[in-house]
Amino acid sequence: MSKGFARYLRSYPEYIPLDKPVASHYLFCFMLGALSGFVAAWGNTLYIGIYAPFIWVSRKAASWLGACLIAPVIEELVKPLGLFMLRSEERVKLPTIEWAKLGLVAGLGFALLENSFYVVRALLEQGVAVALVLLAVRTVLSLPMHVVNTSVVGYGFGWWSNTNEPARYGICLSLAIVHHGVYNAFVLYLGEIT
């Protein structure tokens, strides 16, 4: 986070203190969380230049690099976009735990959209049985991972916005990225041994 952006956030008029978010805040974060799935997919394709050389050497190495490093960084950066917009545009000031709840909702929106893409693709390519199994597995594994990670990032965002210490956000964002990368590595490993 640049000092210029931090100054930009502080240059606005006073924040509106709330004890908890209103319903429209939850809906906004859910919808923006889901839409951030499109942003993440686009971002992941932009970084193909980083792992393209690995494709010629080893498709496996390229898959691991993309899934365990690039995708977690991009996804964890874009999922809490709604939180940033509430803070900077609506001038909302909330307790730290309430930012975590908004992060949870944003992560839920992201996970539902991502899961629907995977399930529809499986349905079209491999049939109903595979799509139903994939839906069950992703609902049990992927959905909680996205919800937990974005809650952690939301907590870090609230921590930062209430203390004006961006390093606190960075700590929580780093934890979420590492957790996401480890999760993806675990899933890739399971795919290789089965």
Separation CA 52–CA 153 (nearest Å): 30
pLDDT for res 182: 97
Predicted confidence at residue 156, as pLDDT, reads 97
Segment-wise mean pLDDT, segments of 10 residues, the chain, 194 residues: 65 71 93 91 70 71 84 94 91 93 97 93 95 94 96 97 93 98 93 76
The burial class, CB within 10 Å (0-12 / 13-18 / 19+), for 173 is buried
- CB of 68 closer than 8 Å to CB of 44: no
**What was the pLDDT predicted at 50?**
67
pLDDT at 54: 66
Query: The tokens of 115 are what?
Result: 């899961």
Give the per-residue SS3 of the chain. CCHHHHHHHHCCCCCEECCCCCHHHHHHHHHHHHHHHHHHHHHHHHCHHHHHHHHHHCHHHHHHHHHHHHHHHHHHHHCCHHHHHHHHCCCEECCHHHHHHHHHHHHHHHHHHHHHHHHHHHHHHHCHHHHHHHHHHHHHCHHHHHHHHHHHHHHHHHHHHHHCCHHHHHHHHHHHHHHHHHHHHHHHHHHHHC
pLDDT attached to residue 58: 77
Q: With 0-12 CB in 10 A as exposed, 13-18 as middle and 19+ as buried, what is 95?
A: middle
What local confidence, expressed as pLDDT, does residue 112 receive?
A: 95
Residue 29 is predicted with a pLDDT of: 95
